[in-house]
Amino acid sequence: MKRLLIVWHSMTGGAHQMAQAAAQAARAEPDVDVRLQAAAQTTAEDVLAADGYLFVTPENLASMAGLMKDFFDRTYYAALDRIVGRPYAILVCAGTDGTGAVRQIQRIATGLRLKEIAAPVIVRTGAQTPEAILAPKTLAAADLARCAEVGAALAAGLSAGIF
């Protein structure tokens, strides 16, 4: 059985909804063990035990969330040269941009020599004021469907042995 590790962090619920949508779709593949784990609780052992990855984060101040960065800081060197070629994808919940977080994760994944299997999905909430930025998020069904497609594609590829 293959394992898909979905690592997520969320302060206002948007990124968590994205991760849950992807996990639900991925779980349709009976031959894939889907692990949905908060970044703060995910260890290097979890990374090494997985066959593919989905990284889900909000964009904060044009960067990935601090706890997502902490996850990479804690696991990077233990995984270096040990997960080469494994597939990954990125989901970002952002106010208006999202590309800063994507670039950061792509650079880390390049260092780990992971294989990006889908274009990053950025869900933009349009939040601009401090109140809107900090408010709990409810994402549109169409945006969650885009996240589900990525989760389903990762799981299907793992199940079929494509990656």
CA–CA distance, 141 with 7 (Å, rounded to integer): 21
Positive or negative torsion for Cα 19, 23, 24, 26: positive
Q: Decide: 14 and 142 in contact? Cβ < 8 Å.
A: no
Q: In residues, how long is the chain?
A: 163
Give the span between the Cα atoms of 126 and 94, in whole angstroms: 8
Which CATH number is 2-160's, of 1.10.287.70, 3.50.50.60, 3.30.360.10, 3.40.50.360? Answer: 3.40.50.360
pLDDT in tens, the chain (163 residues): 999 999 999 999 999 999 999 999 999 999 999 999 999 999 999 999 999 999 999 999 999 999 999 999 999 999 999 999 999 999 999 999 999 999 999 999 999 999 999 999 999 999 999 999 999 999 999 999 999 999 999 999 999 999 9
pTM equals 0.98
